Amino acid sequence: MSRYDSRSGDPTSYGDRRGDSGFGGSMGFSGSVRSSLSRNNYEGAESPRKLDLDGLTPFEKNFYVESSSVTAMSDREVDEYRQRREITIEGRDIPKPVTSFRDVGFPDYVMLEITRAGFVEPTAIQAQGWPMALKGRDLIGIAETGSGKTLAYLLPAIVHVNAQPILAPGDGPIVLVLAPTRELAVQIQNEATKFGASSKIKNTCIYGGVPKGPQVRDLQKGVEIVIATPGRLMDMLESHHTNLRRVTYLVLDEADRMLDMGFEPQIRKLVSQIRPDRQTLYWSATLPKEVEQLARQFLYNPYKVIIGSPDLKANHAIRQHVDIVSEHQKYNKLVKLLEDIMDGSRILIFMDTKKGCDQITRQLRMDGWPALSIHGDKSQAERDWSSQSLKLARVL
């Protein structure tokens, strides 16, 4: 049984990956693990520890070749570009951003999908994140949903998969994306399906609240990319429907939300089953202390890239009105607003508690408004129904 075999029921843990890799002759490991692994310089890291790579097959993860036009960019041009697109970076040997798709050096099958999607230029996170990810280094990305971050990690993932040996029967995925909710997991899957189609990369989405059968069948057929919520994936591993022995590219999407939702124990268990010289991309909208601490334990010598101003700023394309009212005036004010703005279009109302969400929905429905609610205590079927209804603007 290999060191990271999950079949024991109590999966062997690698522990954390900090410190000197110690790879070399004595580890029986040579060549293709990059020198970036040799020392962790992640600020605040604890004392160096040995990285156990015993018996692991080397794999390729550096695919980046800087194009001549990127090389030609002066430091000033690079600074100006980053400033204009509100890109802040930290780390060693940071590659210059790519200002066009042509400069990334994506293979034709990926370029074909980008052209098909009709994209004009890389978003800020893609411009800086693609060269970073394609270099095979670990990455902390602070970017919101809507910034293009999914493709910032998925397109390099597709290149990564295509450079690995094909899956053998019984192999688990090569790329694992962990996400906090089914909704996000499905969105990621849609992008993976669209952009992975031309190179025939298979994916599946593993989440709770639905029967396991179809998900188990997908896993057993063999898929290169698994997008999963942590709880259901643990379940699948514990019942031996898949394993993480082939994972060399790990993504944690919306890490802050996963921690908020209490997934830390599952995430730790899952990550401990993945080979330590993997590439890890860690995404979060915010970087509070706990989220950064977890990143420190999972990442080696990472780049950090932050999109947007560190100061919270309003989007100027959106007109904002602020009304300050007392608690008992709120409902009437809301109804008045709805009467003013309701023209059959869709309206989102955010509440600060689940209970409040249910109460207002009930009250609105009693008053004849076609309201539905969605929150974490609803069953998956109810959540699906609500989000589908909103999407289709279904009148209820």
Enumerate binding residues for ligand AMP (CB under 6 A). Answer: 119, 122-123, 126, 145-151
Please list the residues that pair with 142 across neighbouring strands.
284, 306
Q: Are 223 and 174 in contact (CB under 8 A)?
A: no
- Supply the minimum distance, in Å, between the C-beta of residue 183 and ligand AMP: 11
Nearest residue (CB) to ligand AMP, 33 versus 125: 125
Amino acid at position 373, single letter = S
Distance CA 203, CA 225 (A): 5
Nearest residue (CB) to ligand AMP, 109 versus 119: 119
What is each CA distance from 254 to 178, 232, 234, 292, in whole angstroms? 9, 17, 18, 12
HEC profile of 89-110: EECCCCCCCCCCHHHHCCCHHH
- Supply the minimum distance, in Å, between the C-beta of residue 207 and ligand AMP: 17
Nearest residue (CB) to ligand AMP, 163 versus 186: 186
**Residue 284 CA from chain centroid, whole number:** 8
Nearest residue (CB) to ligand AMP, 99 versus 147: 147
- Supply the minimum distance, in Å, between the C-beta of residue 185 and ligand AMP: 12
Distance CA 378, CA 183 (A): 13
Nearest 5°: phi and psi at 329?
-90, -10
Nearest residue (CB) to ligand AMP, 151 versus 174: 151
Q: Are 390 and 372 in contact (CB under 8 A)?
A: yes
- Supply the minimum distance, in Å, between the C-beta of residue 169 and ligand AMP: 33
| Residue of closest CB approach to ligand AMP | 150
Amino acid at position 174, single letter = I
Nearest residue (CB) to ligand AMP, 40 versus 147: 147
Nearest residue (CB) to ligand AMP, 119 versus 331: 119
- The per-residue b/e assignment along 172-196, b for 16 or more CB within 10 angstroms, e otherwise, is bbbbbbbbbbbbbbebbbebbeebb
| DSSP per position, 334-396 | HHHHHHHH-SSS------SSHHHHHHHHHHHHHTT-------TTS-HHHHHHHHHHHHHT---
- Supply the minimum distance, in Å, between the C-beta of residue 199 and ligand AMP: 18
Nearest residue (CB) to ligand AMP, 53 versus 142: 142
- Supply the minimum distance, in Å, between the C-beta of residue 240 and ligand AMP: 33
Integer-rounded Cα Rg, in Å, for the chain is 23
- Supply the minimum distance, in Å, between the C-beta of residue 12 and ligand AMP: 34
- Supply the minimum distance, in Å, between the C-beta of residue 158 and ligand AMP: 14
- Supply the minimum distance, in Å, between the C-beta of residue 326 and ligand AMP: 37
Nearest residue (CB) to ligand AMP, 237 versus 252: 252
HEC profile of 254-268: CHHHHHHCCCHHHHH
